[in-house]
Amino acid sequence: MAWWKLFLDRMRALRDSESVHREIDEELRFHLDMRAEENVRRGMPPEEARREAERRFGRLTRIKEMGYEVRGGGMLETLRQDLRYGARMLRKNPGFTLVTVLTLALGIGANTALFSVVDALLFKSLPVKEPGRLVLFRCVASPTFSPGPYAGYDGTDAAGRRVMTSFAYQTFRRIRQQQSVLSDVFAYGDLVLNVNADGQADIANGQAVSGNYYAGLGVGAIVGRTITNEDDQGGARPVAVLSHRYWQRRFGGDPSVVGKQINLNDTAFTVVGVTPPGFEGTMQVGSTQDVTIPLAWEPRMYTDPKNSRMYGAGQWWLRVMGRLQPGATAEQARAQVETAFHQSVAEHHDELQTSAQTAGDKPISEVSPQQYPRLFLDPGGQGEMNERERYASSFYLLLGVVALVLLVACANVANLFLARVTSRQKEIGLRLALGASRFRLVRQLLTESLLLAGLGGTAGLLVAFWIKEGLLSVTDWGGRGMLALQPRLDLRVLVFTLALSLLTGIVFGLAPAWRATKVNLAPMLNGGGRGSSAATRSPLNRGLIISQVALSLLLLVGAGLFVRTLGKLRSVESGFDGRNLLLFNVQPDLVGYKGERMARLYEALAERIEGVPGVRQVTFSRVPLLARVRSTRSVYLRDSLAIGADATNRVAANGQCNVNLVRENFLEVMGIPLLTGRPFDMHDGARAPKVVVVNQTFVRKYFPGENPVGKSFTFDVRKPDELEIIGIVRDAKYASQREEIPPTVYVSWRQGFGDMNRATFEVRTTGEPNLVIADLRRAAREVDANLPLNDVRTQSEQADQTLTMERLLTKLLTLFGLLAQSLAAVGLYGVLSYGVAQRTREIGIRMALGASRSAVVKMVMRYGLTLTCFGVAAGVLTTYAVTRYLESRINLSSMLYGVTLSDPATYAVIASLLMLTALAACYFPARRATKVDPLTALRND
Amino acid sequence: MTKQKPDLPQGTLDLLILKALSLGPMHGYGVGQRIQQLAEEMLQIEEGTLYPALYRIEQRGWVESEWGVSENNRRARFYKLTRAGRKQLAVEESQWERLTSAVAKVLQAT
C-alpha cells in the first residue's frame, strides 16, 4: 500500500472509527464461526465446539485491540482525543482561556510585528537574480587619506580608519576591464532629478547607472525594457527607466508611458520601461530610486557642468557591485582586482594634480603606495548596509524587549496553568491510578497548552497587524528615507509566528504538566482532592512570580532611561525659536538657474512669500537647522599661516567650524540674538569686503579672551584674513540636539554664492504653520511653475525627525514595560487569591484560635510583598548585568542623553512603582482572607 | 506422552502468511488452515494473532484485501498477495534458508 493510501485509511479510521471496529469484529467472528462449524463437523457438541474455537483463537479483546492499533487512526487519533479533551477543558473555563489567549496574543503579536519589521529592514535580500552571488565594493583607508571630492557613505571603523563605499568612475572602468571571477561589474550613483511631465514638476530620487546594471542584477522590465550598454554611450538617445512605485504614483500605472517624453533637469528623455514592483534599486534599505538614467548622461544633468560628479577628474561617488561566477569567492575576486584598484587610485590622483596645476592651485599632497586604501568585497545581496547598521542596534534592542515581554507572558500563563492543573489534581491522580502513563498525561496537558498557544498565536497575528501599522509604523520612525520599506505579514513571518507559538506552548506548558503529574497517589485520592497548598507555594510558582517582577523592572528601567533621554533632548535649549516655523527646500540649479538669475529668483521667491497672508517673516539658508546636515570648513588664523606649509604641502588648520550661508535677516528671523557688533545688511554684497558673524563657541575657541569684532581669519590658505568678523551671536544648535554646539560661522549668502545652488526657506508664520502651505505653493508657482517646493515641514517636525529612534524606543519600552508590569501584577494577584482559596481551612483555624483580621492581612501581604522584594532585588541585579552587557555590545549609553545607565533616580522610581503595584495586587486577596468565616471553613471539610 | 508443539519463532508468522497466500487468495481463516495443513499440525499458532499480522502486512503493501463471499456463502475478507508481496516472499525465503542452514551447520558440529 502506498503511503498515501495508508494515510487515507488512517483518515477514514479517524472520521469513522466505528466502521473499522465493525469490520474487525465481523472478520474475527467469521473466523470463530468457521472454526466452530469445523469442530461440529468433526463431531463435537456445538457448545464445546464454540469453546474450543475460542481457546484456539486466543484473547479476543486483546486481538481486537491489536488489530485496531494497526488499522485505526493511530497517533492521529490520540491526538484528536487530546485536542477534543483540551478544547472541552478550555470551553469549561472561559475566563482562564480568555486571559491566557489575550496574554499570549499580546506577547506573540508584539514579537511577530517586530520580526516583520526587522525582517524587512535587516534580513531581506534584494529581489534580484541569485542575490547571494552579488558583492559590494568598499574601501578602507588611513584617516588622512583624501581621494578628493567624495559623495556617499563616509564612516570610521573601530580601528579609526576611514571607510568609504563610493568610488571614482576611473576605478569602476578599470575593475570592469580587469579579468576576474566577477562575471559582471556595474556601478550606480544617486542624483536628484527635477522631473517635469504633463506640465507638472516635482523632485525625484534619481540614479545614474552603468549600461550593464540591470543585466548584472538580473532585473527585467514589466513594461518596455531596461537600460542596456548601448544606452550608456556618447551619442545614444537619452532614455530613462521608472520604478514601479513612481510609475504608479506619477503616471497612474499607464503602460503607454513607454515612449513618453519627460524633462529631467530640463533635458528631454524618453521613458523606455518600468522595473517590477518590489525592486527599489540597490541603495540603502527603504530608499527608492524613482528614475534611472544611463551614466553617460549624468554630466548633462547640471546647468553648470562643473557641478557634475564626472567633471574633471571626477568625484568618488559611484557604488560598485559585482556578480561572482558560480563557485567563486569574494576573496578570489578581491585579490584579482586590487591591483587595478590601486592603479585607478593613482590615476585619479594624477588627474586631480593636473587640474589643480591648470587652475593655478597649490599642488595637492602626494599619495604614497603605502597609503593606498584596501579594497573589500562585502556580500551585496541586500544592497548597501550602512543605514541598516544604523538601525540594527535599536532594533535588536527592541527584539530583546519583545522577547522579554513574551517571557513575562509565558511566566504568567505558566502560573495560571499551574494553578489550574493543580486544581485538577484529583482527576489526574485518578487517571494515573487507572493506569494511564505519565507520558500520556503530560502529552495531554501539553496538547492543551499548545492549543492555547495556537489560539494565542492566531489572535497574535491580529495584534501584530495592529502594532505594525500603529506603533511601529514605518513613516513614524523611518521618515521619508524609508519610503519603500513595507513590512508585511508574509510567509516568512507566518512561519516565525507558528514556530514561536509552538515554542511558547512548550515553554509554559511543560513545567506545569511535569509538576502536576508528579503526584503521590494515596493522599491525593483519600484527601478529598482539596489539592495541596504546597503547589501554589512551590518553588516553581515563586520563581515565576519573582522572574516576572524582575523582568518588568528591567523593561521599566529601560523605558525610564529613554523617557528621561527624550525629555532632556526635547527640552534642550536649541538657541533659536523653532515655533511657528515652516521649512521647505528648493533646488533652482536643477532647472537651469545660475549666477545673477538664481540670486534674483531667491529674492523674488522670498518677497513673494512675504506677501502671503499669515506669513510674518521669510528667510533662507544653505543648511536647515537640526536636520543632521552640516557644512564644515577649516579655520586658518594669522599665526598658523605664518608657520606656512609643511613637507607634504599642507598648512595645518587651527581647527574646524560649521558654516551656514544665510539671508541677511536669518539671525533675526530665527531668533538668534546678536550680542555685539552689527548684523548683515544689504551692503554686504558679492563685491563688498567679506564679512562674517560668529557664535560664542567660535570666539571661545579661536579668540579666547578677546573682543573679536574687527578681527579676521580665513577658510582659504591663499587668501589670508579674508573674512572680517562683524558680530557675535548667541550659541545655537546646528545639526542635532545631541551634539555639543560647534563653532559656527554665518556668511551672507551673497558672499558665498558659489555654494548657494540650493536652499532651505524658513517661513515664520503668525499662527499654525501648516495652514499656509497651500498659499505658499501657489505663490511659488507664480514665481516659477517649474520649481517644486520640496520637503515642506515645520521646524519641530524637522527636529523630531532626528529623534525618531529615541521616540520609538521610548514609546515601545514604556508600553511593553507597563504591559509586563500589569502581567506581573495580575500574576501576583492570581497566585495570592488562589493561595487564599486553598488555605481557607488553615486561615479559618487561625482565626478560630484568635488571630486578628490584621494578622491575617499581614500574613497574606507579607507573603506577596516578600516575593515582590525578591523580584525587585533580582531585577536590579539583572538590569545592571544586562545594561553592562548591552553597553559592551551596542554601546547603549550612546543612545541615551543626559542620564547615566545606572541612574539611581530611575531605578528608585521604578522599584517604588513596582512595590506600589504589588501592594495593590496583594491587598484584595488579603482582604478576602479576612472574610473567611471560621465555622464555614471548618465545616467545609 | 503428547509431543510438545514448538512455538513459532518471532517474525516467521509473516513469512508463513505470505507463503500461504502465494498459493492463491484466501480469507484469514483459510490462511490459518492452510498453514496448519502445510505444517501437518506440528505448529502451535494462536489463531487470533494472524489478524494483526495480516493488517500489518497489508499496510506494508504486501497483500491487498477485499470483501468477498466464502465457500459457505458468507461475507468474508479475502487477502491476495501483491507483486511487492511476492518479491518480499522471495527475499524472506532466501533469508530463512540461509538462517536455517547456518543454524543447522552449527548444530551438526560434533
Nearby residues of A78 by Cβ (< 8 Å), 6 or more positions away: A440, A443
Nearest CA in chain B to A68: B52
- Confidence at residue A531, expressed as pLDDT on a 0 to 100 scale: 44
Count CB pairs under 8 A between chains A and B. 68
Interface touch A70/B61, C-beta < 8 Å? no
Cβ–Cβ below 8 Å for B48 and A34: no
What is the reported pLDDT for A534?
Answer: 45
The model's confidence at residue A519, banded by pLDDT at 50, 70 and 90, is low
Q: Is A66 in CB contact (< 8 Å) with chain B?
A: yes
Closest CB from A1, A35, A67 relative to B52? A67
CB contact under 8 A, A27 and B28: yes
Predicted confidence band at A648 (pLDDT cuts at 50, 70, 90)?
low
Contact residues on chain A for B60, CB-CB shorter than 8 A: 1
Mean pLDDT value across residues A422-436: 78
The CA-atom distances, in angstroms, between A648 and each of A144, A329, A348, A358, A825 are 12, 39, 19, 20, 69
Task: Read off the pLDDT of each residue in A578-597 and give the average, rounded to a whole number.
Answer: 89
Distance from the B20 Cα atom to the nearest Cα atom in chain A, whole angstroms: 17
**pLDDT (0 to 100) of residue A818:** 87
Task: Tell me how far apart the alpha carbons of residues A598 and A622 are, in angstroms, rounded to a whole number.
Answer: 14
Cα–Cα distance measured from residue A495 to residue A497, given in angstroms and rounded to the nearest whole number = 5
Q: Say yes or no to pLDDT of B1 above 60.
A: no
- Whether the pLDDT of residue B68 is over 50: the answer is yes
Inter-chain touch A30–B27, beta carbons under 8 Å: yes
Phi and psi angles of residue A660, each rounded to the nearest 5 degrees, phi first:
-140, 130
- Give the pLDDT score at A392: 86
**Residue B3 pLDDT exceeds 60:** no
**A74 pLDDT band (50/70/90 cuts)?**
low
Q: pLDDT value at position A696?
A: 95
Q: Categorize the per-residue pLDDT at A881 as very low, low, confident or very high, splitting at 50, 70 and 90.
A: very high
Under an 8 A CB cutoff, do A26 and B75 touch? yes
* Statement: the pTM of the whole predicted model exceeds 0.80: no
Sign of CA dihedral A200, A204, A210, A216: negative
Give the gap in angstroms from C-alpha B97 to the nearest C-alpha of chain A: 27
A813 exposure class (CB count in 10 Å sphere: 0-12, 13-18, 19+): buried
Left (φ > 0), alpha (ψ -120 to 50) or beta: where does A259 sit? left
Length of chain B: 110
At A650 the pLDDT is 62
Would you call A31 and B47 a contact, using CB atoms and an 8 Å cutoff? yes
How many other CB atoms are there within 10 angstroms of residue A185's CB atom? 24
pLDDT in tens, A588-602: 988 888 888 999 999
Higher pLDDT, A114 or A477: A114
Q: Nearest by CB to B59, from A57, A60, A70: name it.
A: A70
pLDDT greater than 90 at residue A423: no
A6/B32 Cβ within 8 A? no
Opening angle at CA A620, ends A617 and A623, nearest 5: 140
Interface check A26 vs B, CB under 8 A: yes
Asked if A60 has any chain B CB less than 8 Å from its own CB, the reply is: yes
If phi > 0 it is left, if psi is from -120 to 50 it is alpha, else beta; for residue A710 that is left
Tell me: the pLDDT tens digits for A160-198?
A: 888 999 999 989 999 999 889 999 999 999 998 999 998
Using a CB-CB cut-off of 8 Å, the residues of chain B touching A69 are: 52
User: What mean pLDDT comes out for the span A216-243?
Assistant: 94
Residue A623: what pLDDT? 93
> Taking 50 as the threshold, does the pLDDT of residue A78 lie above it?
yes
Residue A376 confidence (pLDDT): 92
Q: How confident is the model at residue A94 (pLDDT cuts 50, 70, 90)?
A: confident
DSSP bridge partners of A141: A162
The set of cell numbers assigned to A577 is 525659536
Contact A24 B75 (CB under 8 A): no
Whether residues B51 and A34 touch (CB distance < 8 A) is answered with no
Whether the CB of A25 is below 8 Å from some CB of chain B: the reply is: no
Of A1, A30, A69, the CB nearest to B76: A30
Chain B residue numbers with beta carbons less than 8 Å from the beta carbon of A6 are 59
Question: Whats the size of chain A, residue-wise?
Answer: 941
Give the pLDDT confidence score for residue B2 in this predicted structure: 44
Intra-chain end-to-end CA distance of chain A, in Å: 60
Query: What are the two backbone dihedrals, phi and then psi, of residue A561, each rounded to the nearest 5 degrees?
Result: -65, -40
Judged by DSSP in three states, A529 sits in coil
The answer for A637, left when phi > 0, alpha when psi is -120 to 50, beta otherwise, is: beta
Q: Is the pLDDT of residue A524 over 60?
A: no
Between A480 and A832, whose confidence is greater?
A832
Of B48, B60, B72, the CB nearest to A58: B48
For helices A804-838 and A853-890, what crossing angle results, to 10°? Answer: 150
Q: Do A937 and A844 form a contact (C-beta atoms < 8 A)?
A: yes
The mean-pLDDT minimum among A238-247, A587-596, A927-936 falls in A927-936
A29 touches chain B (CB under 8 A): no
What is the pLDDT at residue A532? 45
A147-161 pLDDT, tens per residue? Answer: 778 888 888 888 888
pLDDT tens-digit profile of A798-854? 888 778 888 888 888 888 888 888 888 888 887 788 778 777 778 888 888 888 888
Q: What is the pLDDT of residue A234?
A: 84
Residue B107 pLDDT > 50, yes or no? yes
Decide which of A131 and A423 is more confident: A131
The C-alpha of A12 sits at a distance from chain B's nearest C-alpha, in angstroms, of 14
- Over chain A, what is the mean pLDDT? 86
Residues of B with CB under 8 A from a CB of A: 27-29, 32, 46-49, 51-52, 55-56, 58-61, 64, 70, 72, 74-77
Across residues B69-79, what is the average pLDDT?
A: 88
Mean pLDDT value of segment A691-698: 95
- DSSP character at residue A547: H
Residue A533 pLDDT = 44
Per-residue confidence (pLDDT) for residue A195, from 0 to 100: 93
User: Rounded mean pLDDT of B53-58?
Assistant: 88
What number is the average pLDDT over the span A3-24? 75
CB pair distance less than 8 Å for A57 and B48: yes
Residue A491 near chain B (CB below 8 Å) = no
ipTM for the assembly: 0.89
For residue A679, name the pLDDT band (cuts at 50, 70, 90): very high
Beta strands in A783-896 (DSSP E): 790-794
Which of the two residues, A521 and A311, has the higher pLDDT score?
A311
**Beta A691-695 vs A655-662: how paired, if at all?**
unpaired
Q: Do A1 and B59 touch (CB under 8 A)?
A: yes
- The answer to whether A867 touches A549, Cβ cutoff 8 Å, is yes
Give yes or no for residue A525 having a pLDDT over 60: no
Out of A1, A59, A67, the one facing B51 most closely (by C-beta) is A67
Residue A920 forms contact with B (CB below 8 Å): no
**Residues above pLDDT 70, as percent of chain A:** 94
Among the partner residues B28, B32, B56, nearest to A70 by beta-carbon distance? B56
Query: pLDDT of B5-26, one tens digit each?
Result: 666 666 788 889 999 999 889 9
Q: Report the residue from A1, A27, A58 with minimal CB separation from B47.
A: A58
Nearest to A246 by CA among A238, A236, A234, A254: A254
Where is A726: in which H helix or E strand? strand A723-729
- For cell 546636515, the residue is A629
Q: Which residue of A19, A28, A34 to mutate against B (max B Cβ within 10 Å)? A: A34
Confidence of residue A870 (pLDDT cuts 50, 70, 90): very high
The mean pLDDT of A107-133, rounded to a whole number, is 90
Least CB–CB distance from A1: residue in B47, B61, B77: B61
Q: Are strands A200-209 and A291-294 parallel, antiparallel or unpaired?
A: parallel
Closest residue in chain B to residue A61, using alpha carbons only: B48
Look at residue A574 in the predicted model and tell me its pLDDT.
87
pLDDT at A570: 84
Angle at which helices A425-433 and A386-423 pack, to 10 degrees?
70
Residue among B5, B51, B88 with most chain A CBs within 10 A, to mutate = B51
State the smallest CA–CA distance between residue A46 and chain B in angstroms: 18
Asked whether the beta carbons of residue B70 and residue A56 sit closer than 8 angstroms, the reply is no
